[in-house]
Structure 1
Amino acid sequence: MTEAPELTGPNGTGYGRHAPGAPCRVSLMVHGLAATQEFYGALFGWEFRPGPRQPGPYVRAMLDGREVADIGQLPPGRRLPVAWTPYLASDDVDLTAAAVRSCGGTVGVGPLDAADAGRMAVAVDPSGAVFGLWQATGPLREGAAGVPGAPARHELITRDAAVVARFYRSVFGYEQRPHVSADFDCVSLLLDGRPVAEIRGMGRVLPRDRGSHWITYFAVPDVDAAAERLTALGGRVARRPHDTPLGRAAAATDPEGALFGLVDAGL
């Protein structure tokens, strides 16, 4: 399991003020907002609260009154890829965006203000993986963590873990813990000695249809049961439930094709 160190605010993954570089929120932009709410509401028990209507329809996913994710609707006619995007905390999004560019990445959106909640940008690392930057400026809002339905783990799938890890270390100052063997290429990214994300190198077997990409794992009480349920709801199992060094996990896509993971809630 990855952890998100916070400087102030509530426990775990949420929208309080996190240490720079810590995953602090996840978002999804979709074509069918109502159908997406129905799918994730049935799968994870999320309820939804309307968010600001700028730049378009937008909702906050909630668990027991605490925020777990943001879901927005893409503009009509924009046939963009649908994907979950993790946001990494920053004390100054403008400076972090400049660091992304100077280290070989690109900034595709922003930096810009997100209503009165914060300042954000969407970036792409040198391997092509999309991630967000988030600077909280509004009142601290409690986020869910350590419970079924909440984000529990963030993993970057790429070709060469060490190469991409250098970019993230340069931008965010992560400590790194490599795990390399004949058949396993992985680098843990740490803040204050605690893991916040993993980078997994797949070499030539990296899926060409997705390329390098981040995947957010959501905690569930039973991975096998959740995989069956999401199939019945119109999703697809991309990688069947399997045992990992961190517990049982699976990968799946929602009805619009957004990739996400399932992981044991006990991790």
Structure 2
Amino acid sequence: MTAVKVRLAQGTPCWVSLTTSDHEGAMAFYGALLGWEYGPGPTPLGAYVRALSGGAKVAGIGVTPPGTSHSVGWTTYFAVDSADEVTQRVHECGGTVAMGPLQAERAGRLTIAADLTGSVFGLWQGEEHLGWEVTGEPGAPVWHELLTPDEPSATAFYQAVFGPVLTPGEDGTTRLLVDGCPVAEIRSTTEGRGWRVHFGTADCELTARRAEELGGRVVQEPHDTPQGRMARLADPQGGRFCVLQVG
């Protein structure tokens, strides 16, 4: 378990947020699956709650804004020192900005952007809300990976935008390092694209079966990975995420 009490270094994943077409349904699903409870969050874009695991903030669930084409899905946010400056670098590096920078009340400043292949990610300049308060345990985020058809271009893009150190992984991936610690990875694939959020679980098989009982589905059965036992799941509204066995 890692408790987070300070602003994370720029380029570090610091928050995950689900945009969904069924706010109440998503809250019920993840509450039953991951043991989450909920507290209020900023609402500049509509209904939004913060998910709590053991009383610690770990994620957000918001409703799809009216009149937008944003699909159901999880977004990984990266800590930045200045949302305005890093948003400008996204433009300069050939990415696109869908929203922001905008102020999320007193919580902080955010931007929603996409890289060169259209993979969506967020920028978060924390003020009153620095990000998640715990990682590496069941119910909390534990890992992040980008699936991309063009790993060299993705690597160059995130290096230029955030300034992290990138290093080859043992399994042919590229690891993003911040202050010498791996925070995420980039993996080349022709099957799908985008950032994948991994939540911790004490039992990967049990969580996968429970997701089906709650109306979700198993996209990829539990299997062994370099990070541990993992399964890819989808919630009843179609939002995809992964669970990774920890502990």
State the TM-score, normalizing by the size of structure 2: 0.94
Partner of 1:157, secondary structure, is: strand
Out of 214, 220, 228, the residue aligned to residue 201 of structure 2 is 220
Matched, 1:193 2:218: no
Q: Retained in 1: the 8 A contact 2:49–2:60?
A: yes
Gaps of 5+ in 1: 4-10
Give the Cα separation in 2 of the matches to 1:108 and 1:251: 27
- In the alignment, which residue of structure 1 is the partner of 2:211? 230
Counterpart AA for 1:188: R
1:23-34 equivalence runs, <5 A: 23-34=13-24
Gaps of 5+ in 2: none
What is the count of residue pairs matched by the alignment?
A: 247
Q: Retained in 1: the 8 A contact 2:173–2:187?
A: yes
Q: Retained in 2: the 8 A contact 1:108–1:123?
A: yes
- In the alignment, which residue of structure 2 is the partner of 1:262? 243
Give the Cα separation in 1 of the matches to 2:129 and 2:120: 27
Counterpart AA for 1:109: M
Counterpart AA for 2:100: G
Out of 50, 62, 70, the residue aligned to residue 60 of structure 1 is 50
Partner of 1:108, secondary structure, is: strand
Give the Cα separation in 2 of the matches to 1:78 and 1:140: 27
Structure 1 residue 15, shift from structure 2 partner: 7.5
- In the alignment, which residue of structure 1 is the partner of 2:233? 252
Per-residue Cα deviation, 1:40-68 (whole angstroms, up to 9, x for no partner): 00000000112233321111100121101
Q: Retained in 1: the 8 A contact 2:15–2:76?
A: yes
Structure 1 residue 142, shift from structure 2 partner: 6.4
Q: State the percentage of identical aligned residues.
A: 45
Q: Retained in 2: the 8 A contact 1:15–1:25?
A: no
Q: Retained in 2: the 8 A contact 1:162–1:187?
A: no
1:69-108 equivalence runs, <5 A: 69-76=59-66, 78=68, 80-108=70-98
Per-residue Cα deviation, 1:95-142 (whole angstroms, up to 9, x for no partner): 000011111111110001011010000010001100000001226576
Structure 1 residue 79, shift from structure 2 partner: 5.3
- In the alignment, which residue of structure 1 is the partner of 2:138? 148
Partner of 2:25, secondary structure, is: helix
Residues 22 and 140 of structure 1: CA distance in aligned 2, closer, same or farther (over 3 Å): closer
Give the Cα separation in 2 of the matches to 1:197 and 1:229: 27
Structure 1 residue 158, shift from structure 2 partner: 0.7
- In the alignment, which residue of structure 1 is the partner of 2:224? 243
Partner of 2:134, secondary structure, is: coil
Residues 154 and 115 of structure 1: CA distance in aligned 2, closer, same or farther (over 3 Å): same
Partner of 1:251, secondary structure, is: strand
Out of 117, 129, 145, the residue aligned to residue 107 of structure 2 is 117
